Chains A and B, each alone.
Chain A
């Protein structure tokens, strides 16, 4: 893509700022340490398949050591520190993330495959903003509406996904530390590098040892962490299936649980919507971050009377998207994060064809190496199709039509998920009517995929429970 309407010269971001070590240990009790029973594995650049570094899949003893360090830090320092001082540490962290923003953005794009434009303009600035926001809460918790002196829970075990590695780390660590908890965080197996860079930020901030511990690894490490008896709080962002397993594993304990899980958001376009803006919103909704977004607008519901016109405009727009080198500043669509995810996207897309939906992609040359999937849309999709029901977590849009607002609403809510939804119309009363009735935790009206540290985010139904962001985000880390 990129040929035809416009040609762009390559504009790659420099990687000079990034210094990736050949191998990494675990960040426990304020130091990078060798594993006790962990085993090494490699993290690769999904755009090139090059090995970036060797990291540790932490074993049960490693997790045990990290939880013990977090407990000692909780009892010994962090829970005794004033809110003001906790806040000052977090302000430091926010500033350090800002100071090292370009480095973190490049690192994120290399490890994750996302376009540098997104890591630079969205992921990293939002991560810094999240720390800055919760830093300010640390000495104001008595005003947050949870009583005069709400208490922390203790040690938080946090497991985060690969789609927004540093941003999800910020969503987890910032409120946990602001409220006085200490953390053991496990980044996703395919994207450990920015979390390990964050360990260095903790060093620069002089954060007391053990307040933040980073254990890398895959599912087994995550399971060891959430099932560890020394953990008081479990926070997980990821698939609904793993969320269910975690909910079962904490049953019968006193662990507090928050889950931010999958979605199958309806993005609803009415016939009076400004169509060009809606097209931009649809593109942003499903092709942002290659569609690796739990709140992606993966079901387009378009009013029948404007369906043809909208699809024409959408297809013209998709033909201008540039897919390729994530580090190129002109790139719109980067690499799929892993071969496993690529297989899943391919499989569900094939199912879409087999079930009778019509598949379309713009002419698009995929790089020879790396993991890639072209922007794809399916028309003629029914509510029963798997591509209308299951989360694909890739750049694949399913298009359905409707005639009346009531029908749009019924189709939008016909999902076990309830994370987000979009509404596009010029009619204010209709926006509010829809917003009231959509069973979803976030409703974007005439916009999509907006995030802010002050704005509570989280799901209804099988998209999980608990909120991250805003005053609401404190609650999951307080004994209330």
Chain B
């Protein structure tokens, strides 16, 4: 046979339509205001994309968006938040194939392992969706005070949470974002620098589902550059340092977080097993307890 020409084998030579990786802030997909990008490569050195290299200004814009969204999201009914999160899982399910390809590149794992991670991430999202209207009963209480008062305690979201995402590009990311937002917090996430593809794909899923803009804001770039601004930001109420691997930087961020007494989730000694039962810890870390008293009488 003669060599195939372009006309004879159009499918094999189809040129892919590549995606521009952008930030996700306030429900929109802006480029970095700084105009900067950085080159993302797969483990084999192949060019994947130019991702937005978020700046201090982008981080601040993301906090403003998260704060703006907090009132509505935190006062939505728990049932509503549960359905919104479940909807995200539905949309994720439809993009399993795409996500698996991106996770394989970002996490440098086989296609089979990437598929396993995507499936676990979707299931994780469903698991948290179900918590929205249960965590209050597990964490709240009626308090038998020694006097004629009705006294009860309920968990409430802490506010705006900054998350430095772990290296696990989708399963790890979902495992830190979902517990923060299911209880009514809004967040600013710094995706892991080396594999932002799945994070941007998740942002697109969030935008295509019913999550209000600003509830999750996603920045790509360097945590070493952006996280200090988030840690010292006076309108951020809590920070999760799970993705900070440099102990010196983690200490620096925790010191900065003390300026307004942020709740700090320190990085663990080792990256957790993201397939394990996550427990309540990551939800509880960003919950406050409110106690209400009222006299009892006729």
Contacts and interface: CB of A to CB of B under 8 A. Distances in A.
Given A251-B255, A251-B258, A470 B143 contact: yes
Interface size class of B (residues with CB under 8 A): 35 or more
A185 interface: no
A247 B262 CA distance: 9
Given A441-B289, A456-B141, 19 more contacts: A145-B138, A243-B261, A247-B261, A248-B254, A248-B258, A252-B251, A252-B255, A416-B260, A442-B293, A444-B293, A447-B293, A447-B294, A450-B145, A450-B147, A450-B293, A454-B144, A462-B261, A464-B261, A471-B141
A472 B154 CA distance: 11
A452 B258 contact: no
Interface string B124-143: 00000000000000100101
Contact of A244 (B261, B264, B292, B294): B261
A247 B247 CA distance: 16
Interface of B: 75, 138, 141, 143-147, 149, 151, 153, 158, 237, 247, 250-252, 254-255, 257-261, 263-264, 266, 281, 288-295
Contacts of B290: 435, 440-443, 460
Contacts of A442: 290-293
A248 to B, nearest CB: 5
B261 A465 contact: yes
Of B153, B250, B263, chain A has the most CB atoms within 10 Å of the CB of B153
Contacts of A259: 261
Interface string A230-247: 000000000010011101
Contacts of B237: 461
Contacts, number: 108
Please report whether the interface of chain A is mostly helix, strand, loop or mixed according to DSSP.
mixed
A467 B263 CA distance: 13
Interface of A: 129, 145, 240, 243-245, 247-248, 251-252, 254, 259, 261, 416, 431, 435-437, 440-447, 450, 452, 454-458, 460-465, 467, 470-472, 480
A89 to B, nearest CB: 22
Please report whether the interface of chain B is mostly helix, strand, loop or mixed according to DSSP.
mixed
B258 A461 contact: no
Contacts of A465: 261, 263, 288
A252 B254 contact: yes
A244 B146 CA distance: 34
B255 to A, nearest CB: 5
B259 A244 contact: yes
Nearest to A449: B293
A435 B138 CA distance: 20
A224 B128 CA distance: 42
